Amino acid sequence: MEVNLVSTFSEFKELKNIDRPTMIGVLEEVFRNQLAKMYGTADNFDIIINLDKGDFEIWRNRTVVEEVEDPNLEISIEEVSKIDDSYEIGEEYPEEFKLAEFGRRGILNLRQNLSGRIMDIEKANLYKKYHDRLGEILVGEVYQAWKREVLIMDEDGNELVLPKSEQIPSDFFRKGDTIKAVIQDVEMNNNTPVITLSRTSPQFLERLFEQEVPEIFDGLITIKKVVRIPGERAKVAVESYDDRIDPVGACVGVKGARIHGIVRELRNENIDVINWTSNIQLMIQRALSPAKISSIKINEEQKSIYVSLKPSEVSQAIGKGGTNIKLAGMLVGYQIEVFRETEEDEEDVMLIEFNDEIDQWIIDALRGIGCDTAKSVLALSVSEIVRRADLEEETVLEVQNILRSEFED
């Protein structure tokens, strides 16, 4: 029984990757608790552990007395004399405590308590390990792919979770696939660490750039801000501390060599790399590129920006599904509204003038795709407005009829 238990302790140490001092401390604590449970106190016990050699001993120290009052702390001179007659009253008599004295139930309790403590330590170590790695990229293997989440195993066999909400819309994984994601969150749930990964986080894109662009890793180029609509488009603002280095060119690479790998990892997400500037107007122009802005008006109180563009530039500024203008606003931290320029002799009416006939939320949806005037709405097909503004076909037809009647009148 003794050899069996000691070998079990050694196995725990090897399998759980727990350092020696911690393991010895756990063993001693578990045994002391069991001894205290049996005898009321364990202060008079010495526990000697040597995991390397497999040595494990328990010694009980009792005071030699004439008449015993507490059998755990005292032993009679008569009993000691039968073993060794050199002891006198008042001296301390050490006696080896055999594991068998714990009894079968005691041994089972020891094993259970030890298993519980080891698991607690392992969970705490796992939590600390990944909490210290928050924001780092992890490469793991898909163990199970479910509808709401993907279970991933790291190199040590620990389980990590990639929720559906943190996956790029076009992500599709099978068991055994290698997956790359950023460590986004680590929390304790019912005393169990839950490690959550993300592929939609802007931080994931930032770490990918650090891996692909040596100048960023070395600190010669700094990523100032990253904004994303996962799977569709992203904007990355970069700045160089060395005038000899073109930050945008370095990030893109020769013939796009550096950025192509990132785009593939993000399921063909379009990435715009922009040269950072503290000049807000210049930053807006760069963010809305390739569209050319005619004029910019900034409202600091409302944190909004009004940009005027020629009709031919509006669609480029807004982008597919409004992604370009949305990301540009996120990048500069302002709400950007686009206004279409009209010729001086061209009659047109602002949409806001129809707020007594058209609901405000519909006007806002149309302005969100760059249609702030009646003629800009009439210039687009019903199907295009339905797709871009996410409105019902019946609603669009009704709006166009209202606007068309204005010019007929």
Q: What CATH number is associated with residue 106?
A: 3.30.1480
Q: Are residues 224 and 122 in the same domain?
A: no
End-to-end CA distance of the chain: 102
Residue 407 half-sphere exposure toward CB, CA atoms < 13 A = 15
Q: What is the pTM of this model?
A: 0.70
Q: Are residues 103 and 12 in the same domain?
A: yes
For the stretch 141-161, pLDDT in tens is 999 999 999 999 998 889 999
Query: For the chain, what is the mean pLDDT?
Result: 87
Q: Are residues 11 and 122 in the same domain?
A: yes
* Domain-located, residue 335: no
Q: Are residues 109 and 25 in the same domain?
A: yes
Q: Are residues 138 and 192 in the same domain?
A: yes
Q: What CATH number is associated with residue 253?
A: 3.30.300.20
Q: How many CB atoms lie within 10 A of CB 139?
A: 11
Q: What is the pLDDT of residue 62?
A: 93
Q: What CATH number is associated with residue 198?
A: 2.40.50.140
* Domain-located, residue 235: yes
Q: What is the pLDDT of residue 1?
A: 47
Q: Which two tokens stand for residue 248?
A: 């945008």
Task: Decide which of 99, 130, 161 is a domain's last residue.
Answer: 130
Residue (of 256, 265, 215, 257) closest to 239 by Cα position: 215
Q: Are residues 124 and 143 in the same domain?
A: no
149 burial type by CB count under 10 A (0-12 exposed, 13-18 middle, 19+ buried): middle
What share of the chain in percent tops pLDDT 90? 46
104 burial type by CB count under 10 A (0-12 exposed, 13-18 middle, 19+ buried): exposed
The DSSP-derived string for 100-116 is: GGGHHHHHHHHHHHHHH
Residue in this structure with the two tokens 């060119």, named with its chain if needed: 249
Q: Are residues 150 and 225 in the same domain?
A: no
Q: What is the pLDDT of residue 212?
A: 94
Cβ 382 vs Cβ 391: under 8 Å: no
Q: Are residues 141 and 124 in the same domain?
A: no
Residue 46 half-sphere exposure toward CB, CA atoms < 13 A = 11
* Domain-located, residue 222: yes
Cβ 142 vs Cβ 173: under 8 Å: yes
For the stretch 239-278, pLDDT in tens is 998 888 999 999 999 989 999 999 999 999 999 999 999 9
* Domain-located, residue 402: no
Residue in this structure with the two tokens 């308590």, named with its chain if needed: 113
For the stretch 38-97, pLDDT in tens is 999 999 999 887 766 666 789 999 999 988 899 999 999 988 898 888 889 999 999 988
Alpha helices in 213-256 (DSSP H): 214-217, 247-252
The residues, any chain, with a CB within 8 Å of residue 35's CB and separated by 6 or more, are 42, 45, 58
Q: Are residues 83 and 116 in the same domain?
A: yes
Residue 149, domain extent: 134-202
Looking at the 3D structure of the chain, how many domains does it have?
Answer: 3
Amino acid at 381: S
Q: Are residues 7 and 124 in the same domain?
A: yes
Q: What is the pLDDT of residue 370?
A: 78
Q: Are residues 192 and 231 in the same domain?
A: no
Q: Which two tokens stand for residue 94?
A: 């050490």
Q: Are residues 173 and 221 in the same domain?
A: no
Q: What is the pLDDT of residue 345?
A: 41
